[in-house]
Structure 1
Amino acid sequence: MTQRVTNIERFPPPPNLPPPTTSAGRLVHWLRRSLDLPVSSLYPHLAAWLGGLSGRVLEVGCGAQPYRHLLAEGCQYQGLDWEGVKSAFGYMVPDTTYYDGSVFPFPDYTFDHLYLTEVLEHIYDLVPFLSECRRVLRPGGSLFLSVPFQARYHYIPHDYWRFTPAALERLLSDVGFQHIEIRPRGTDISVACYKILCVLYRWLLGRASTKLLGLLMAPVGGAALAIGHLSLKTGLGSQDDTLGYIVVASKC
């Protein structure tokens, strides 16, 4: 008997928002980022890449623009997102063009750089989408993207794929990107710690009985968080099983 997969997400991921301007808000933002090992595995790589850019920059699937503040001063930022985000997530933000999810509403060769973080797994038609990314980049322009590998089913039902390095390289080279560099984010130890934290998150948001269990297991969660961050910093463990991947490529 086949079990029907639910399209209801009981425990959605916490929103990924830009840092507030107040000291207390920045502290809360730092804590939220620290508790999220996949975001922690992405943040330093993206900060280094964005901080070295100049010219026109497009963020595809920009959401609430959580990483825009990392851009180098003087960059011209443009966000792009699906027109359904307001009904799905309840927000619309400035400097963002909302579109129907097909052809990007920009001329060829518009941008010097393009980035998307944890977006590709939500795109069903990958080749047309990546072709659009390449089309709007000028010759010599660069692409940065991140994808999850070990992540729970999220933003249901719009979560379609998990990618290996071989798949990422083939997808990007097939649409014309070159100089493709793929880096793992974390190790199998990072993954194990992340899974423990996901279970605790689910327990703490669940019924009274599971909340109590989550509180009792909080020391285990603290240890998992510490070991997870240690694995991110030192590379402890095997990179054959990882939280996700970062890809940098260029259009020649």
Structure 2
Amino acid sequence: MEKKYWVPALEKANDVLQMISVQPSKLRLIDLSNLLGINKSSMFSLLNTMETLEWVVRETEGTYSLGSKLGFIGNAFFKQFSLIDRFRKEAAVTKHTIQETIQLAKLEQHEVLYLAKEEMPSPVRLASEPGMKLPAHVTALGKAMLASLDNSTVMQLFPQEELEPCPTAHTINQRSELLTQLEIVRVDGYAFDLQEAVMGFCCVAAPVHDAQGKAIAAISCSMFQHEWEQKRELAQREICALAARLSQSTS
């Protein structure tokens, strides 16, 4: 592995955590120092910092065990995958109610990262696949998640008034217009994409919240524009209900 931009202190901290994980509550500072070949003063600084960060806990006998913060981070790691699993289970039912494909995504800076989708058979396949990214402002998914942020944060993500080149004639191209739409999304609790990402397709999306109320993802349903008028209310109702169920399961 190339170590051109390597941080040695982080590597040492990782080695310490690995060693403690193998022998919890058994190793003292001097033991870790000898086992890892790190001098005692450096080891003291590492352990003191990690203890303050709650990465490790110093026991009464002077030995160390892993701290609660690592448990929180580990739980968050596995939760992101369990969300996908829960999405697949729940969306597999909802897609048959709406008779349309349902997608799951999360926000990464000013873009939407697609995580999963439950697909209905169709002669036209949605271009968005897990791992694909699109500008957040052109999608209902992106607007549903951007609405959970305050305007100052949104403006940091989109520092220019002119937004990225528009994929269609209906796409928002001004930041001020985006901010206006986000105010509506905050009130309604869901967002629309009316032929803004792809001509001929409309979409509704709703955010998925964690136990603290933070939008950690969003789900959406896309369909042909000519079906939109017939299914709009059904799709809106079912997507909001699905988002609510997924939000409850993350708390």
TM-score normalised per structure 2 = 0.28
Structure with more contact order per residue of length (Cα contacts < 8 Å, sep ≥ 6): 1
Select the structure of larger CA radius of gyration.
Answer: 2
- TM-score, scaled relative to structure 1: 0.28
| Higher relative helix content | 2
